[in-house]
Amino acid sequence: MKKSKKKLKGMTLVEMIISIFIFALMGGLLILIGTHIDSTTKATNRLKNKIVVESPYAANHVKKIGVDGSGNDINLPSTELDIVVVQDEIDGKYYYQEKDATTGKMVAKEAEFKKGDKVEMKADKYATEDLVTDGMTAEEKKAYQEGVNGGLNLEFLDIQPAAPPTPLSPTPGGGP
């Protein structure tokens, strides 16, 4: 009786090289994806930190940096914007604020908003970074701008109450 030898067949050199190449390619792709995820996470954290530090000033409408030697307020630099909203879709209700003549307080009012009406508003655009960095040395400001800030510059809008809507082009019967 003849004993048969089992032939063990392994991978050839070419198959091994191809396998190593495929694993190296997959590893390179994982590293690229990982660095992209890491940079996105860092950018998200910088934005979150900037919002956490600066948004309370904007939420409380703090625009005063301090007081000068004469006792006058030093306000944040701001840009005044004109905002015009034109209703070009359907009619509806519009809510605005107006100062009450008797109490002097702002009260909510309701008006009809018809197609073709426009509302004009004013807004102040300002950045709160100067409030956060007030009193810091130049090195501390630079560290803040490169660290938590991450080179971001948040700007906020303080929109003034709008007046009732006015028709763009009045027509007989009240609507366009």
Tens digits of residue pLDDT in 46-57: 888 888 888 888
Cα separation, 116 vs 102, in Å, equals 33
Give just the sign of the alpha carbon dihedral 19, 20, 25, 26: positive
* 33 residue type, one letter: I
* 140 residue type, one letter: E
pLDDT, residue 25, reads: 96
- Domain ranges across the chain: 73-167
Mean pLDDT by 10 residues, the chain (176 residues): 71 91 96 91 84 83 82 85 81 77 84 79 85 85 75 81 64 46
pLDDT, residue 158, reads: 84
The DSSP H or E segment spanning 121 is strand 117-126
pLDDT, residue 24, reads: 96
42 contact partners, CB below 8 Å, separation of at least 6: 150
Rg (CA), the chain: 32
pTM score, whole prediction: 0.55
